Amino acid sequence: MQASTHTDRSPSFALLEWYDRSARILPWRSPPGAPPPDPYRVWLSEVMLQQTTVAAVQPYFAKFVARWPTVAALAAADEADVMAAWAGLGYYSRARNLIACAREVARRGGFPDDEAALRALPGLGAYTAAAVAAIAFGRAAVVVDANVERVVSRLFAIVEPLPASRPAIRTATASITPDRRAGDFAQAMMDLGATVCTPRNPRCLLCPLRHDCRALARGLAETLPAKIAKKAKPQRTGHAWWIERHGAVWLVRRPDRGMLGSMRALPDDGWNAGADGHGMPPFVGDWRPAGVVRHGFTHFDLDLQLMLCAGDNLVQPLPCGPDGEFWPIDRIDEAGLPTVFAKAARLASAQR
C-alpha cells in the first residue's frame, strides 16, 4: 500500500490511516491503496452525486452501468432513453450534460487524465474535474465538496460564513492534500464528513483529526461552517392535465430547453421558476379536479393542481406527432416521468 508523503504528525497521514480501516464500500470505488477505478465509473458517480445522497444514487448507478457499461456505450445511447433512466434523480441538466460529455469523450477516445483538460469537457465544473483527476488518475487535485467544506471549516476554525469562505477553505484543503494517494485522501475527506464530521451531532471522539481540530478545541465544531440564512423559496402554482383513453394516458415531450427539458410529462399550463401557470387546459373538455401535488424544486415550491378528463369527453381530437403519445397506464413507471409528474400519475391512478 502506498504511503502519504506527509509526516505521521500530519492530518493527511492520520486521515489516510483511518480511511484504510473505515472506507465505505461503494460500487464506483476501488479499495484503499488499490489501483484507481475506471474513469467512466468515477465520472458517472460524481455527476450523479451532485446535490444527491449516496443512498439515492446507488440504484441509479447500478442501472446505468448495467445498461451502458462504458462511456462509448453511453455516448451511443438514445438521449430519450438516458433521460428516462435518469428520471427521479432531479437536476435534469446533469443528464443532458452527461450525454454531451460522453459523446465528446468517445470522440476523443477516452477521458483526459489531467484536471485542466477534464474541466474543458461539457458539464464538468471545477469540483467534478478535480475529483476525476484525483480518484481516477491519482493527480494531486484539490477536491472540495460540501462534506470537505464542513471538515476543513472545522479543522481550521474558518468562521467566515459560506459562500464567502470558499477561497479560504480551498487554500486550507490544498495545504493538507498529499502528493500521493490524492484520490484516497479526497474520498477519505468525503467519508469523514458523511459519517463522523456530520452537520449535526458530529462524532468528535471518533474523529482521526480531533487532535488537530481548531474548532473542537474552541468549542465551535457544531457551529461550523457558518452559513447565511437562506431566503424563503417562492411558492408557485400550476395545473397538469390527465387525459385518459383505453387504459392509456396522453404524454407530451417537453421542449429541449428549459425546465425538465426533453422529458416525457403530462401536459401542463406553463408554470416555471419565475411564474405561475395560466390555468387554461390544452383542450376543451369535461375536466374535474383530482387533488394537488406538492413538490419542491431548488429555487421554488410548486402546488400542482391535477385535472382529469376522459379522452372521449374532449371536444377536439388530440394531435398526432412526435411530441405527444398515449402511454399505457400499467407501464407508466417506464415512461421516465420527472418526479413531480410521477407524483401526479400516482395521484391519478389512485382515483381510477
Domain ranges of the chain: 37-137, 139-229, 235-350
Q: What nine digits make up the cell of 29?
A: 470505488
Give the class (CATH, top level) of 139-229: mainly alpha
CATH number corresponding to 235-350: 3.90.79.10
* CA pair distance 145, 1, nearest whole angstrom: 26
* CA pair distance 289, 279, nearest whole angstrom: 12
User: Which pLDDT score is estimated for 7?
Assistant: 46
Tens place of pLDDT per residue across the chain (352 aa):
343 444 456 888 999 999 999 999 999 999 998 899 999 999 999 999 988 899 999 999 999 999 999 999 999 998 888 988 998 888 888 888 999 999 999 999 999 999 999 999 999 999 999 999 999 999 999 999 999 999 999 999 999 999 999 999 999 999 999 988 999 999 999 999 999 999 999 999 999 999 999 999 999 999 999 998 888 899 999 999 999 888 899 999 888 777 888 889 999 999 988 899 999 988 878 889 999 999 998 889 999 999 998 766 665 566 655 578 889 999 998 888 999 999 999 999 888 6
Give the β-pairing of 288-296 and 301-310.
antiparallel
User: Which pLDDT score is estimated for 74?
Assistant: 97
Which residue carries 480551498 as its cell?
Answer: 170
Amino acid at 132: V
* CA pair distance 101, 82, nearest whole angstrom: 13
User: Which pLDDT score is estimated for 83?
Assistant: 87
Active-site residues, by number, are 46
312: alpha, beta or left? (left if phi > 0; alpha if psi -120 to 50): alpha
* CA pair distance 251, 260, nearest whole angstrom: 14
Q: What nine digits make up the cell of 344?
A: 401526479
User: Which pLDDT score is estimated for 165?
Assistant: 96
Q: How many CB atoms lie within 10 A of CB 287?
A: 17
pTM of the predicted model as reported, rounded to 2 decimal places: 0.80
- Structural fold of domain 37-137: Endonuclease III; domain 1 (1.10.340)
* CA pair distance 328, 209, nearest whole angstrom: 55
